Amino acid sequence: MLKPVLRDPAALPRLALTLLALLLLWPGLRLSELNLAVLVERDNAANMGHFVAGFWPLAHDREFLQLLGRSILETLAIATAGMALALLLALPAALLASRALSLSAMHHGGRPAWWAQAGRWPVRGLLIVLRSVPEIVWALLFVRAVGLGPTAGVLAIAITYGGMLGKVYAEIFESVDPRPSRALLMAGSPRLAAFAYGVLPNAAAEMLSYTVYRWECAIRASVVMGFVGAGGLGQQIDLSLRLFAGGEVASMLLCFLALVLLADQLSRLLRARLL
């Protein structure tokens, strides 16, 4: 006799989805030529072990530490200078791209006139172009243009992060309470003043928090860009890797870790105080 079977009605769809995921994964594995077996092959394992074993002892002679300190400062300087330039680019672009200060939106029921809307598209397009090209590509470009060194890193960060900050700032401006700035505009205030008195007080905390987070990202990005010759800690890691100086690489990785940790703590502190 048939007993009333206790069966989860969701079981079959779940099984089907799992099979589908595996089926889709297979071509991916083939295309990426992933073969985990190479990791445990004797030669390869020995090679890797040799490489990792070279990481100990950590390099700590005076000359190297001086070099290390210099590259850390250089990395921080690249990230900070890049962010400063990015802000110069992002703030005006965000003001132009945002609808928050539209005068024509006031008496058109919140929607700007079509020509004002059309005027925002070129700025939005520019921001999209700036941030859609990865910073490493910009860095490669600028290394060709201005030669090896931190300048290329600064420029690459300024351009990519300018695009990101501009887009996010514009969205923050549009998401805060529009009534204060509208009231000021309707009392005859110029738009920039209405922005400073009506939008900025509400948007400042969120903007600062996002900017600090981006600064942390810029530190990491500047290390990556060092590998293509854009200066800083990354360039030193690349050099030491090529020289098989494992101890130096390990010291630098530790410093890098400390740097990211520091940035993370700083942004956490600021967020806790401001949000």
Partner 1 sequence: MSVSLSGVGLTHANGQVALSGIDLQVKTGERVAIIGPSGAGKTSLLRLLASNLRPSTGRISLLEQQPWQLGARQRQQLRARIGLTHQAPPLPPRQRVVTAVLAGKLGQWSLAKSLLNLLHPLDLPGAQAALARLDLADKLFERCDQLSGGQLQRVGIARVLYQAPELILADEPVSAMDPVLAGHTLSVLNEEVSRRGMTLLASLHAVELALAHFPRIIGVREGRVLFDLPPAAISREQLEALYANEQLQALPAAPLTAQHSLQIPRC
Residues that bind partner 1 (CB under 8 A): 103, 106-107, 109, 177, 179-180, 182-190, 192-194, 196-198, 201-202, 204-205
For partner 1, the closer CB: 62 or 179: 179
* 236 in Cβ contact with 186 (< 8 Å): no
Q: Exposed, middle or buried, 142 (CB in 10 Å: 0-12/13-18/19+)?
A: buried
Instruction: Please report how close the Cβ of residue 207 comes to partner 1 at its closest, in angstroms.
Output: 13
Instruction: Please report how close the Cβ of residue 272 comes to partner 1 at its closest, in angstroms.
Output: 17
Inter-helix orientation angle 246-274/232-242, to 10°: 160
Instruction: Tell me the one-letter amino acid at 177.
Output: D
Instruction: Tell me the one-letter amino acid at 59.
Output: A
Cβ count near 252 (within 10 Å): 25
* 249 in Cβ contact with 170 (< 8 Å): no
Cβ count near 271 (within 10 Å): 16
Instruction: Please report how close the Cβ of residue 175 comes to partner 1 at its closest, in angstroms.
Output: 14
For partner 1, the closer CB: 135 or 206: 206
Instruction: Please report how close the Cβ of residue 205 comes to partner 1 at its closest, in angstroms.
Output: 8
For partner 1, the closer CB: 194 or 218: 194
For partner 1, the closer CB: 116 or 253: 116
Instruction: Please report how close the Cβ of residue 193 comes to partner 1 at its closest, in angstroms.
Output: 4
Sequence-separated (6 or more) residues with CB below 8 Å from residue 265: none
For partner 1, the closer CB: 27 or 109: 109
Which two tokens mark 110? 């919140």
